Amino acid sequence: MDIKASWIEKGYVDEPIPPGIDLKSEIRRIAREKNAIILAHYYQEGVLQDIADFVGDSLALAQKAASTDADIIVMCGVHFMGETNKILCPEKKVLIPDLNATCSLAESCPADDFAAFVKAHPDHKVISYVNTTAATKAYTDVVVTSTNAKEIVESFPKEQPLIFGPDRNLGAYINSITGRNMLLWDGACHVHERFSVEKLIELKRLHPQAKILAHPECQAPIIKLADVVGSTSALLKYAVSSEHDTFLVVTESGILHEMQRQAPDRTFIPVPPDDSTCGCNECNFMRLITLSKVYNTLLHEWPAVEVDPELCAKAIRPIERMLDISRKLGL
Ligand code: 13P
């Protein structure tokens, strides 16, 4: 295939979409023809969740990638998710519609700096959030997601010193609910860090019956106000199965699409960031993925996620450990 200089420069295929085509049905047709599976995180735009074969949180997406028999995986999400898929399925082609879709958490933990931190604490076991690069995962004993972090931390003996990286908010939250004193890397998610306590309190005043649902990547003052703290899938489950009908949602607003789809009669109110008047909090990296980029990616099978095989061999161990523990715990 001829990889054009303009694609490489932009990090995605910039071919114009033929006029008059129905993008959604064309994407589904090409995916069928190529035996490709389209995976999407809950933080993707609704239209992408609708065309995906599977929508899930970080853990479910990794589990799905590990078990698929498709030849091609198209990851509608951010780069570390594509990398995790490639590490789990090195023989498959893993495509990500825009290489610029990075993750502020993964960026906040450069592998060399993390390696030095780990080396400085040789008696510690190392737990890394899945939102890390493959290079950082290579210095990790076990990977976690927000769905299984508590259980995986608790699977270590109480006296075992632990490092937790890179999310200081998730790490502090897990410390608070497990009574551990993990050493925390000083990273954070730029979306979850920007929620406004003042705006949350104001929304709660306007909707006193509403339950507050918060992701554990939020800062402690938000977590303190929350009725439920959990991963996107945990918040979704609570929102559609509890007896309540109004919710203030303190995570990336893409999740509202699935909440509203599963519970159309309930009211979901996105909590805004402190620096915006738009009313919801979107991850600019997640939102780089668009329907036309998915179409072009599938058609041209580019950009593909590549991970050096030596690095793959190191990074797969902590990911498989996570999947094993999760399987045993029924997560
Ligand atoms: P979960 O998918 O585990 O809810 O975490 C959200 C996230 O950080 C995605 O980058």
- The yes-or-no answer to whether 3-103+286-308 and 195-270 have a common fold is yes
Q: Across residues 287-314, what is the average pLDDT?
A: 97
Strand, coil or helix: what is 105?
helix
Q: Is 53 exposed, middle or buried (0-12, 13-18, 19+ CB in 10 A)?
A: middle
Q: Per CATH, the architecture of 195-270 is what?
A: 3-Layer(aba) Sandwich (3.40)
| Burial letters 68-102, b for 16+ CB under 10 A, else e | bebebbbbbbbbbbbbbbbbbbeebbbbbbbbebb
Ligand 1: which of 81, 131, 168, 218 to mutate, judged by most atoms within 8 Å of the beta carbon? 131
125-183: pLDDT as tens digits: 999 999 999 999 999 999 999 999 999 999 999 999 999 999 999 999 999 999 999 99
235-246: pLDDT as tens digits: 999 999 999 999
Q: What is the DSSP letter of 305?
A: P
252-294: pLDDT as tens digits: 999 999 999 999 999 999 999 887 656 679 999 999 999 999 9
DSSP line for 141-189: SEEE-TTTHHHHHHTS-TTS-EEEESBHHHHHHHHHHHT---EE--B--
CATH class held by domain 3-103+286-308: alpha beta
Cα–Cα distance, 182 to 126 (Å, whole number): 10
Angle of CA points 40, 43, 46, to nearest 5° = 75
Q: Across residues 53-77, what is the average pLDDT?
A: 97
Q: Which atom of ligand 1 is nearest to the CA of 147?
A: 3
Q: Which atom of ligand 1 is nearest to the CA of 80?
A: 10
Ligand 1: which of 79, 232, 238, 253 to mutate, judged by most atoms within 8 Å of the beta carbon? 232
Q: Across residues 111-138, what is the average pLDDT?
A: 98
Residue 17's closest CA among 300, 288, 290, 292?
292
Question: 235 C-alpha to center of ligand 1: Å?
Answer: 11
What residue spans define the domains of the chain? 3-103+286-308, 105-188+313-329, 195-270
Question: 3 C-alpha to center of ligand 1: Å?
Answer: 32
Question: 146 C-alpha to center of ligand 1: Å?
Answer: 7
User: For domain 105-188+313-329, which CATH number applies: 3.40.228.10, 3.40.50.10800, 3.40.50.300, 3.50.30.30?
Assistant: 3.40.50.10800
Q: How far is CA 84 from CA 62, 216, 218, in A?
A: 7, 21, 24
